[in-house]
Amino acid sequence: MTRLSIAIPSKGRLKEKSEAWLSASGFKLRQKGGGRGYSAELKGLPEADIMLLSAREIAEELIAGNLHIGITGEDLLHDLCNTFDRDVHVMRRLGFGGADVIVAVPASWLDVETMADLEAAGALFRQRHGRRMRVATKYLKLTRQFFAEKAVGEYRLIESPGATEAAPAAGTAEVIVDITSTGSTLKANDLKVLDDGVILKSEASLVGSLRADWTPEVRETLKVFSDSIEATASAREHVRIESDCAIPDSLVERFGLRRISEHIALSVSQNAISAAQALAKVGAKTVTIATINQAFSSDNAVFENFVKNLSQSA
């Protein structure tokens, strides 16, 4: 692969949030073939190929090395990866698409509040019904690992083809392992999350494949992309302070300012007002605080850390 390949979710709120996140860094998505097209281009990054896939497909293709980077959920990566640290690298968590992978049981199971209770209930269920209780899920690997860690063995997995939360009411399973963000769907289906039943806290992340073919040209395109992404992330955390008097070194050190020039510095947002007040006390007549769109730096720890992981996995 001689061009950087990027995949984003193809539909729903995850697609909308991903597009907005890219646009904030100067990369506006233009979908080819209208709303039903599955390829696109990014304005500002013509050297990249953009694909629109489901979040699960993105995770699978990253693990296989068929994509360079993509936006997907950490829940899928952990469920599908056999060797997580050798297959993929989470470059940046994006702050949207948050959800938990949880274990839930019918709310009517009053005596089942923990995973230990679930094991006891499973033994009783097998004694009464002559079979193991069924656990419906799309997260087969995560479920096996978590149940083993919690010493729960009285169950059998049922792969869920559709709405997992409906399985107990439909009579196809007694327990579910599913993903939830607000818990409202679980409550609507008369289910409750076990007290220690949170398997994984997940959110949408920018993920790099450690299995893909990373040529020098592709790495250079990733650097351009990552520099802009990190500049936007830095800007969200900082504001620009400008003073009509020189900013003393003592205040730069005291407030952790990043000096731009004698009269201009970047400040962490929560320190800005205190820094401005301190400048007024040392003689400034006017101090302005302004938000910024991007703050580029010669250092890019996210990119450098990814390249380091690439070298270690080679």
- Contact call for residues 208 and 70 (beta carbons, < 8 A): no
Alpha-carbon distance of 226 to 300, in angstroms, equals 8
Does position 23 have pLDDT exceeding 80, yes or no?
yes
Beta strands in 186-237 (DSSP E): 191-202, 204-209
What type of residue is 123?
A: A
pLDDT at 162: 83
pLDDT in tens, 91-138: 999 999 999 999 999 999 999 999 999 999 999 999 999 999 999 999
- Coil, strand or helix at 209: strand
pLDDT in tens, 271-280: 999 999 999 9
Domains with residue ranges and CATH for the chain: 4-97+204-213 (3.40.190.10), 99-202 (3.40.190.10), 236-291 (3.30.70)
Interhelix angle 301-313/216-237, nearest 10 degrees = 140
Alpha-carbon distance of 63 to 46, in angstroms, equals 25
**What average pLDDT does this structure show over 283-300?**
93
Does position 33 have pLDDT exceeding 90, yes or no?
no
Q: Is the dihedral of CA 178, 63, 207, 66 positive or negative?
A: negative
Alpha-carbon distance of 274 to 265, in angstroms, equals 14
- Count the neighbouring beta carbons within 10 Å of the beta carbon of residue 51: 18
Take residue 117 and report the two structure tokens written for it.
């209770």
Burial 262-294 (b: 16+ CB within 10 A, else e): ebebbbeeebbeebbebbeeeebeebeeeeeeb
Does position 58 have pLDDT exceeding 90, yes or no?
yes
- Contact call for residues 252 and 265 (beta carbons, < 8 A): yes
- Contact call for residues 143 and 135 (beta carbons, < 8 A): yes
Q: Is the dihedral of CA 232, 238, 241, 246 positive or negative?
A: negative
pLDDT band for 301, please (50, 70, 90 cuts). very high
